[in-house]
Structure 1
Amino acid sequence: MIISISFCISFFSCFTSTYGNEDIHSFNQDDIIINKLHRVVDRSLLEEFENNGLASVASGIVGSMIGVSWSGLRKVITTGSARPLFIDLTISALLIGAARGTLSVVSRTYLRTPFDYLSRPLTWVFYKFTQLQDWVLHEETSYELEQKYSAFLDPVAERLKVVVEQVFDIPADYWTIIAMDMSSPNAFATSGFNIVIYHSIFPMAKNQAGMACILGHEMGHVLAKHVGQRLSDVIFLNKLALASIPFANSISQNQETQADEIGIYLTALAGYDPSECSRVWDRMTTFGGNLREVVNIFLSTHPTNKTRMNALKHHGNALQEYYLNKPEVLGLGLEYSL
Structure 2
Amino acid sequence: MFSRVRRLSIIMLSLCMFFISCFSNAYVNEEVHSLNREDMVINKLHQVVDRSLLEEFEDNGLASIAGGIVGSMIGISWDGLTTGNASPLFVDFTISALRTGAALGTLSIVSRTYLKTPFDYLSRPLSWGVYTYSQWHDWVLHEEPSSGLKQKYSEFLDPVSKRLKAIVEQVFDVPAHYWTITHMDMRAPNAFATSGYNIAVYHSFFPLAKNQAGMACILGHEMGHVLAKHVGQGLSDFIFLNLKALASIPFTNSIFQNREAQADEIGIYLTALAGYDPSECSRVWGRISAFSGNLREVVNIFLSTHPTNKTRMNALKQHENALQEYYSNKPQVLGLGLEYTL
Matched, 1:49 2:53: no
Q: Map of 1:249-268 to 2, 5 A cutoff?
A: 249-268=253-272
Q: What's 2:127 paired with?
A: 123
Residue equivalent to 2:4:
none
Matches within 5 A, 1:154-233: 154-233=158-237
Secondary structure of the 2:287 match is: helix
Tell me how far apart the structure 2 counterparts of residues 192 and 290 of structure 1 sit (CA, whole Å).
31
Q: CA RMSD in A?
A: 1.0
1:257 is aligned with what amino acid?
A
Supply the distance in 2 between the matched residues of 1:82 and 1:75 (Cα, whole angstroms).
7
Q: What SS is found at the alignment partner of 1:196?
A: strand
Unaligned runs of 5+ in 1: 1-26
Correspondence list, 1:28-43, <5 A: 29-43=37-51
Q: Which amino acid counterpart does residue 29 of structure 1 have in structure 2? A: R
Q: Name the count of aligned residue pairs.
A: 308
Q: CA deviation at 1:225?
A: 0.2
Q: Please report how far the alpha carbon of residue 72 of structure 1 lies from its aligned counterpart in structure 2 after TM superposition.
A: 0.9
The one of 125, 144, 147 equivalent to 2:148 is: 144
- Deviation >6 Å, runs of 4+: none
CA distance, structure 2, for counterparts of residue 28 and residue 244 of structure 1: 42
SS of the equivalent of 2:244 reads helix
**1:113 equivalenced with 2:117 (yes/no):** yes
Alignment-mate amino acid for residue 267 of structure 2: G
Deviation of 1:28 (Å): 7.8
Task: Pick 1 or 2: higher relative contact order, CA cutoff 8 A, min separation 6.
Answer: 2
Residue by residue over 1:25-65, the C-alpha shift from the partner in whole angstroms, topping out at 9 and shown as x without a partner, is xx981110000000000000000000000000000000000
Structure 2 letter corresponding to 1:64: S
TM-score normalised by L of structure 1: 0.90
Cα distance, 1:205 vs structure 2: 0.3
2:176 and 2:294 map into 1 onto residues whose CA distance is 36
SS at match of 2:247: coil
Kindly provide the amino acid, as one letter, of the partner of residue 56 in structure 1. S
Separation in 2 of the partners of 1:72 and 1:63? Answer: 16
* Percentage of matched positions with identical amino acids: 78
1:313 paired to 2:317:
yes
Q: Structure 1 CA distance, aligned partners of 2:233 and 2:86?
A: 33
- Which residue of 2 is the match for residue 283 of structure 1? 287
Output the CA distance in 2 between the equivalents of 1:210 and 1:176.
19
| Counterpart residue identity of residue 80, structure 2 | G
CA distance in 1: counterparts of 2:227 and 2:280, whole angstroms: 22
Output the TM-score relative to the length of structure 2.
0.89
Question: Which of the pair has more CA radius of gyration?
Answer: 1
Task: Could you tell me which runs of 5 or more consecutive residues in structure 2 were left unpaired when the two chains were aligned.
Answer: 1-34
Q: Deviations over 1:152-181 (max 9, x none)?
A: 000000000000000000000000000000
State the alpha-carbon separation in 2 of the partners of residues 236 and 316 from structure 1.
Answer: 36
**Residue matched to 1:20:** none
Query: 1:47-106: per-residue Cα shift (whole Å, max 9, x none)?
Result: 000000000000000000011112212233xxxx53111110000000000000000000
Q: Which amino acid aligns with 1:123?
A: S
